Amino acid sequence: MIAYKFLDAGRIAPFTRFQWPENEWVSADRLAPCKAGVHACRVRDLPIWIDDELWEVELGGDVVEYPRKVVASRGRLTRRIDAWTPALADEFAAMLVSHTRRRFGSIPVLSGFVVDIARFRATNRVPIAGFAAARAAELSGGPRAYEHERLRQAAWLAERLAIPA
């Protein structure tokens, strides 16, 4: 299975601090979401896991899909997605500000999300900007609106990154 993996600069896993090798298989003894296994994401999960570097990862062995991630017994980084840059991350955050302003900028309470997202953009906290945009949608239209916004964000990223949606 081909999936994606956001990492800190230098191929460092943000939670475990494991430095991933390139094109070498990494194996796990067991699968447990958020605890053990090779964690990755599908295109639809990209906005949730944004970090410094984006890699295509090949998963092997047992692969279990969860609502916001996939966990496998084996994985290897196959290529860095060079289109993911700080400039594209900022463009994504700018799109979130603009889109949220258009949708909710004149609605009391929800308009505060626009200010928050702009602040998150200014401080390079892009993942939380995406969450805030989805949360504004959820407060306006319920859980389905949250999911729809996250899928919209994922489609935007997939198009800009030239990866199949």
**pTM for the model:** 0.92
Dihedral angle sign, alpha carbons of residues 96, 98, 114, 116: positive
**Backbone phi, psi, residue 140, to 5°:** -80, -40
User: Could you list the pLDDT tens digit for every one of the 165 residues in the chain?
Assistant: 999 999 999 999 998 899 999 999 999 988 777 777 899 999 999 999 999 999 999 999 999 999 999 999 999 999 999 999 999 999 999 999 999 999 998 888 898 999 999 999 999 999 999 999 999 999 999 999 999 999 999 999 999 999 987
